[in-house]
Structure 1
Amino acid sequence: MKTAPLTFGQLSVLRDLDLSGPDEQSDGNLPLVLDVPSGTSVDEVTAAWARLVERHEALRTVYDRRAAEPTQTVQPFLGLELDTAELSAPTREAALTVAEEWAEQEIHFDVDHSWRVAVGVHRGAATHLVCVIHHLAVDSAACTLLEDEFRTLVSGGTLAPDPPQPVDLALDQHGDEQQRRRTIGFWLDEWRGFVDEDRQGGDTSRRYRAVLYSERAQSAALAVSERLGVSVQSVIFGAASLALFDLKGRDRATFGLLAGNRMDKRWQAVLSSMNQLAPVTVVADRDAAPSVFLRTLYMSSLERLLYGSYSIDELRARLVEAGSSNPDPLQFDCYFNYLGEIALPPDEGSPAHEGVEWFADAWQGGPRFNLRVATGSGLHLSLTASEDYLGAEATGRCLASVEAALVSLADGEPGTVADVDLVPLRKAGPPPREEDGSAHE
């Protein structure tokens, strides 16, 4: 066994859990469903997962959160057996239903590994690997990595040599004092420019969650990105900012931008949580050209993402020393999270084909504006917003306005930011009903 400090990403996840109540410790659980090729046996599926556990230390690590500086300890691989879970149908949706039910149960990562896994079977045939993995062990990129490697193994392929491990990353991060000083210094300067209105916290009003899928919006974002030479995510971020500003009557806001922290090739294949907040203040000069607004936002976001890996405990301590009025590095009310090219088209007949689709509201905490974005077959926007911040109708309209803004930026090349058309092109749909909390379960 080997013990080391946490990586900066793991520490951020743990401190976020520290802010949650005892009944909310399952919030870090991520459901994941991996497809199994037809004809694959339960033993073959088990062997593939066992190889991943042997290969990735994060899947056999326990975490001690009691000390002032938490630690991770890697357990030896001693083999494993998996249970089976009977699915109601041989579909991904049926497997995901089981995973989401499991995700509501706390994983005790301080005494056991950070996952629950079973082979999903239907009428005796293995169809899926049903997983719940704690965010301490994986982020979105790591889930994609697991999926790719599992697919290779169950198809009879071989994997590349074992990648670096979270302990390697942690020792590198903690040992590079020059980089730590430079990064902390950057954020100490940045903290003075954040909008106080976006750092209130404590909003426990009802949440609404809406989703919009648009191939047209993705084509528009790609066109603007190519024309201006900026990232697709910064174009979508800019459109989302304008939609929010229109609804809130503002021209400035601070967002907690989610940093993936995988730009260094040494750590791209590490199975661990590397996400952290890289806060950025977005300012919209309504008389400026949209190209200027988007290029400025792109450069500003890129700079902050480059400083997205830091010790949250060290930053908090330095902010307290500096007399900051709000030294909490996690307290931001608006989140923007770009998940990458993972979006799939919605099911046939889904309301997302026509406009906004509503889902059951989320737990009553966390950021009061949380926009998750994915590209792929089309642009997938998922917004969770609170009653006190936006309300139901504005939550749906915000998504529809993002689509409208992207189309306007691509087709019309408006003269100024104020000229960007934010009028929804599609219906936002009815908000969730009060009696059951949702128009869609």
Structure 2
Amino acid sequence: MESNQLTFGQLSVWRNLMTLPRRTWTSTILSSLTELPGCTSGDVMTALGALCQRHEGLRTSFVETAGAVEQVVHPNPDGAVEIIAVDGYDDVERLTRELRSTPFTLTGDFGWRAYVMRMARRRTYVALAMQHIIVDRWALQILLEELRNELTSPSPNLRPDLPLSGLARQQRSAEWSRQRAQAKSYWQRVADEFGGITATGRYGDRRVRGSIDLPSAPAVVSEVSRVCGASAQSVMLALVALGIHASDGRDQFVIHLIAANRYRPTWRGLITSMAQSIPIGVTIDPGSTFVDLARTMSLRSLQGLRNGCYDVDEVAELAVRVSGGRRWEYVYNHLAAPWSDMNGAVVPSGVRAGPVIGPSSRPSIADMYCIVPRSEIPALEFHVDASRCSDKRLRRMLVGSTQVLRALAKHPSMHVGELSDLY
């Protein structure tokens, strides 16, 4: 067995988990359920075995000694996969929920489990539950794609361009000293300009999810993007920033973006967690236009995402200055596929319903976690700590977002002050 330091992505997840109440750790588990018709449980076990040999992260456990964490690569992930005979789909759903809700210990466990569930007539399902330190959403999608490919066209000699152990060494090498220094300098600038303006409290016991469908968003966002020369992600980020300003009255705050960190070709196929958060400072000028705001968000996002891969321990003191506490106030994550493909899509009836408010299953990494999810219809979600954000404020932000999009459809260059009045 080989011991190595953690990659920057793994270390970020580890440090984040250490700040969360242990009871919330299951909310950081990523899961999937996949039907593999025509495959036997033996076929699936063989394919999973091949993937485990291909990707070190699936054979990795973690050891912590006096605050220092290492990953240990094993020959095989013994006990991670279980074959279960089931009578029907109700059993499949029940076992998947059970798998998803079972916490990992982090030290000792491999950080992932799978149920290979077999039914009559060669119907086989695979349920996966994976701690975020093992995969991010990008990696989970790659893993599922490789599983299907391995079942149809096995590739026993296929290997990633860079193993995880190699990535951890690369990120801490002398060759990477410039990137590490640039990232720390970026955190220093944000801390100097925006540090101390937020102060998060203790974790509340109630997390709330508010969501709303935005069927008209692709066309509006596309037009605003064209006018201001910014991406759809930047336009939606500007919409979220406007909602935060309008609902709490502050002109300055910090939003943490989720950086996928898959920009290097050798990193794209890695089965691990590469995503890290990076702060950007937001200043709202009521006299500026929404186009100005979107352009500013685009510039700030690019500056932040260029420094999205960093050693979280190196910037620990700066991170406290930026957040004003032990967790973040606002997080923005853009998961949606490009909306340009949806501009001509037929919108199903019934999607123009008002906002939906209910319990949240997202992790408590921020007072407010804003997401543009992958979904058939463009949508906007806010996952909030109810002790920090009331249902009334949440509903106001959701309804206000739709009102702003309607206004921008007619006048993309409306002033921020006018748009704020729509919340």
> How many Å separate the matches in 2 of 1:329 and 1:174?
28
Q: Deviations over 1:343-398 (max 9, x none)?
A: 9x9xx999865232333244894311111112553313221113333211322332
Distance change (3 Å), C-alpha of 1:306 and 1:132: same
Match of 1:5 in 2: 5
1:35-114 matches, cutoff 5 A = 35-36=35-36, 38-77=37-76, 82-84=82-84, 86=86, 89=89, 98-114=95-111
Alignment of 1:299-338 (within 5 A): 299-316=299-316, 319=318, 331-338=327-334
User: Judging changes above 3 Å, is the alpha-carbon distance between structure 1 residues 351 and 57 closer, same or farther for their aligned structure 2 residues?
Assistant: farther
One-letter code of the match for 1:60? R
Aligned residues: 413
Counterpart position of 1:171: 169
Aligned to 1:132, the other structure's residue is in SS state strand
**Secondary structure of the residue that 2:105 maps to in structure 1?**
coil
The share of aligned pairs that are identical, in percent, is 23
Match of 1:286 in 2: 286
Deviation digits for residues 96-141 of structure 1 (CA, Å, limit 9, x no counterpart):
6643432322213322312110124455653431010011110111
1:215 equivalent in alignment to 2:215: yes
Give the gaps of 5 or more residues in structure 2: none
Corresponding position of 1:367: 366
**1:215 Cα deviation after fit:** 2.7
Asked if 1:192 is matched to 2:188, the reply is no
> In 2, Cα distance between the equivalents of 1:308 and 1:178?
14
| 1:141 and 2:138 aligned | yes
AA at the equivalent of 1:354: A
In structure 1, runs of 5+ residues without a counterpart are 425-441
TM, length-normalised to structure 2: 0.86
Q: Distance in 2 between matches of 1:233 and 1:87?
A: 45
Residue 112 of structure 2 corresponds to 115
Shift of 1:60: 0.6
Q: Distance in 2 between the 1:363 and 1:198 partners?
A: 22
In structure 2, do the counterparts of structure 1 residues 353 and 49 end up closer, same or farther at CA, with 3 Å as the change threshold? Answer: farther
Contact 2:2 2:73 in 1 (8 A): yes
Q: CA deviation at 1:205?
A: 5.4
C-alpha deviation, 1:3, in angstroms: 1.7
Give the Cα separation in 1 of the matches to 2:391 and 2:369. 14
Distance 2:249 2:362 in 1: 27
Distance in 1 (CA, whole Å) between partners of 2:405 and 2:169 is 43
Worse overlay, 170-179 or 186-195: 186-195
The one of the two structures with greater contact order (alpha-carbon pairs below 8 A, sep at least 6) is 2
Structure 1 residues 75-101: Cα deviation after superposition (integer angstroms, max 9, x where no partner): 1137886312638538xxx85664343
Is 1:396 aligned to 2:395, yes or no? yes
Higher mean C-alpha displacement, 209-218 vs 72-81: 72-81
Label 1:150 to 1:221 Cα distance change in 2 as closer, same or farther (>3 A): farther
Alignment deviations for residues 118-166 of structure 1 (CA, whole Å, 9 cap, x no partner):
1244556534310100111101111111122122223446589311222
The residue aligned with 1:434 is: none
Counterparts of 2:208 and 2:136 in 1: how far apart (Å)? 24
Q: Give the aligned residue type for 1:12.
A: S
For residue 142 of structure 1, what is the amino acid of its counterpart?
A
Is the 2:222–2:232 contact (alpha carbons within 8 Å) kept by the matching residues of 1?
yes
